[in-house]
Amino acid sequence: MPLFSNRYFLPAMLAALLFSAACHKKPAPMPAPTDDATLQSAASFPVGAAISVDLLRNNVGYSSLVSAQFSSITTENVLKFDAVEPAENQFNFTDGDYMVTFAVQRHKRLHAHNLIWHQALPNWVINFSGDSLAWENLFKTHIETEAAHYKGEVASWDVVNEAIRDDDGTLRNQDVNPGDGSIWRRHLGADYIARAFQYAHEADPNALLFYNDYGQEWNGQKLNAIIALVSSLKNRGIPIDGIGMQMHIDINADNNNMLAALQKLIATGLKIHISELDIAVNPGNDPNFVFTDPLNAAQSAKFQYVAHIYNTVPTAQQYGITTWNVTDGDSWIPWFYNRKDYPLPFDANYHKKQAFYGFLTGLKN
């Protein structure tokens, strides 16, 4: 089967023309900093962040910043498998419910992350023994119970997260490197992804359903595999609405590669969510790293470019841009890589960085 059918040729051609015009447009000048500037007011589509429930509960500065700047919030960790079902058939929705209440009270869209992933699994799943029917029941029960609990309360789900390998574009299966394999693929077969979407849709027919992954902008083989996967699901009538393009990038990310990847994703006809954006400034893990003015400027320009090219996505396919975490102080990157880094538009003291103003400019244009 060809990757794209003829019905996608004309939309892809038009999208390419729009992108070409956008990329040759003279960049907008940086606006003068203003204290009342907000990301959510600058964009014609939702702008969001992945949110820490602990900071939301306990830090007024954090919750105030989220309320002021973002129109959409993503559940960072509280709806992952290990948090929701720590023991078999014992579900804990306390933190997720708190985030729902916060979103409703402040009129924010809530994007739920995630139902099925090969990580963040409780020990009872990792050590589970049973035949294929028992595994299918475990899988189906978790998806349906969680999705049904939030029926009508979340706008969308990352149904399956990061199912494709980096090295060869195949589905994760056996562990070649520690943590790379998928327990779901091993026990449920390759079509577990389609069934996950079906189960989620049956539990909440009105929620938009996304496949979420990283690496599209730097790994062409993986990009093509993601497109083949979601296109196959769509062509089979599996209920899938969009693609999450995570965009964990750094200041050296190639603009042409980002643009080309976005064009290919647009051609699927699905909604596009830049779902986990951050822009690292110390990708070399320099222990003596100093965040200089030139690096500030480079990061700001990269945020502006990402927002700028996203503005050329057809309106019907824009699901928005979401940063992964809110400030440099709560970013996953410094602790995960054990290094100094400052990957977000707000610093650890909740102040707007130069990157904020670059992002703001890109959102407006």
β partners of residue 222: none
Looking at residue 36, its pLDDT comes to 86
Looking at residue 365, its pLDDT comes to 81
What is the three-class DSSP state of 322?
Answer: strand
Looking at residue 24, its pLDDT comes to 45
Q: At what angle do helices 9-23 and 293-310 cross, to 10 degrees?
A: 140
Each of the 365 residues of the chain gets a pLDDT tens digit; together they read 333 233 333 334 344 444 444 444 444 544 445 568 899 999 999 999 999 999 999 999 999 999 999 999 999 999 999 999 999 999 999 999 999 999 999 999 999 999 999 999 999 999 999 999 999 999 999 999 999 999 999 999 999 999 999 989 999 986 655 566 899 999 999 999 999 999 999 999 999 999 999 999 999 999 999 999 999 999 999 999 999 999 999 999 999 999 999 999 999 999 999 999 999 999 999 999 999 999 999 999 999 999 999 999 999 999 999 999 999 999 999 999 999 999 999 999 999 999 999 999 999 98
Q: Does the active-site annotation cover 162?
A: yes
Looking at residue 34, its pLDDT comes to 56
CA 162 to chain CA mean position, Å: 10
Closest CA to 278 of 343, 230, 182, 352: 343
Q: Does the active-site annotation cover 146?
A: no
Looking at residue 12, its pLDDT comes to 41
Among candidate residues 76, 85, 162, 217, the one labeled active-site is 162
Asked whether 326 and 67 are in contact (CB, 8 A), the reply is no
Asked whether 208 and 201 are in contact (CB, 8 A), the reply is no
What is the three-class DSSP state of 248?
Answer: strand
According to CATH, the superfamily of the domain at 6-364 is Glycosidases (3.20.20.80)
Among candidate residues 76, 85, 146, 276, the one labeled active-site is 276
β partners of residue 293: none
What is the three-class DSSP state of 246?
Answer: coil
Q: What token pair was written down for 232?
A: 């196959």
